[in-house]
């Protein structure tokens, strides 16, 4: 049976590839991101399965619009994949307060805002998958310049555990995938010149399969998905 999924950060990289993988499997996808041109191109390529909504998930007005658009579509969701995020590569001592606030909004509040917005239309036995990072996984290697990014992704991991408890009575499973090196523009920004272990398409397929199938086996889990640490 076809499922309905909403994917944030869907205009490029892992979010785009996850949306494509879900569409190719015959599922309905609502792709959300700030870049309308890229979303429109994605929708045109997979018009039978992908629609899109342009939104900045840190902006109250865009969240209201997202809620209204979903209501107009009479949408019911089985899957939410929180992939939207940002990265700043800068040493700790040079990070400004505004940069910390920017990353917290981009990486943590986007998840909070999106879950609050779509929760009323999520079906029973639905699955929320938060895309975190090995930088936010306890005990993993940490790297100079990525402190703020890693801290915010660690917050996503803890948020995942909390949401699994908060939403248990609604029969909504919540898990986080802490990704290692994947060939994306964000990874190039974090590790210039380093060759990633996994292509974005491969990771998108993995995330799609996990979102579709693994709510029956995991809830409140923060799972590493990595072959190695960059070094």
**Average pLDDT value over all residues in the chain:** 92
Output b/e per residue, 205-217; b: 16+ Cβ within 10 A.
Answer: bbbbebbbebbee
Instruction: Compute how many other C-beta atoms are within 10 angstroms of the C-beta atom of residue 186.
Output: 18
pLDDT at 231: 39
Assign 72 a pLDDT band (cuts: 50, 70, 90): confident
The average pLDDT across 18-45 equals 96
pLDDT at 144: 86
Whether 53 has a pLDDT exceeding 60, the answer reads yes
Instruction: Compute how many other C-beta atoms are within 10 angstroms of the C-beta atom of residue 133.
Output: 30
Is 149 in the active site? yes
Output b/e per residue, 83-120; b: 16+ Cβ within 10 A.
Answer: bbbbbbebeeeeeeeeeeebbbbbbbebbbbbbebbbe
pLDDT at 199: 84
- The model's pTM is 0.93
Q: What is the pLDDT of residues 2-27, one digit of tens each?
A: 999 999 999 999 999 999 999 999 99
Question: Is 231 domain-assigned?
Answer: no
Are 28 and 104 in contact by the 8 Å Cβ rule? The answer is no
Question: Is 230 domain-assigned?
Answer: no
- For residue 67, what is the domain's CATH number? 3.40.50.720
Q: What is the pLDDT of residues 154-175, one digit of tens each?
A: 999 999 999 999 999 999 999 9
Question: Catalytic residue among 46, 52, 149, 206, which?
Answer: 149
What the block records as the tokens of 177 is: 């995938």
Which range marks the domain in which residue 182 is found?
4-225
Give the total number of structural domains in the chain: 1
The average pLDDT across 98-121 equals 97
Question: Is 208 domain-assigned?
Answer: yes
């Amino acid at each position: 049976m076809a499922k309905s999924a909403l994917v944030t950060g869907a205009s490029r990289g892992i979010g785009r590839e996850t949306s494509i993988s879900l569409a190719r499997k015959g599922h309905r996808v609502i792709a959300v991101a700030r870049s309308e041109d890229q979303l429109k191109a994605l929708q045109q390529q997979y018009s039978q399965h992908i629609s899109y909504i342009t939104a900045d998930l840190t902006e109250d007005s865009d969240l209201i619009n997202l809620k209204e658009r979903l209501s107009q579509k009479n949408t019911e969701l089985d899957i939410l994949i929180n992939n939207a995020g940002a990265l700043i590569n800068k040493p700790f001592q040079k990070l400004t307060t505004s940069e910390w606030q920017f990353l917290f909004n981009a990486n943590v509040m986007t998840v909070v805002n999106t879950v609050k917005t779509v929760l009323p239309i999520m079906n029973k036995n639905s699955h929320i998958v938060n895309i975190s990072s090995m930088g936010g996984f306890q005990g993993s290697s940490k790297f100079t310049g990525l402190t703020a990014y890693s801290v915010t992704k660690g917050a996503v991991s803890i948020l995942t555990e909390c949401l699994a408890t908060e939403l248990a009575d609604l029969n909504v499973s919540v898990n986080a995938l802490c990704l290692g090196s994947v060939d994306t523009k964000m990874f190039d920004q974090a590790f210039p010149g380093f060759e990633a272990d996994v292509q974005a398409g491969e990771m998108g397929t993995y995330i799609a399969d996990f979102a579709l199938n693994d709510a029956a086996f995991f809830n409140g889990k923060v799972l590493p998905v990595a072959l190695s640490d960059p070094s």
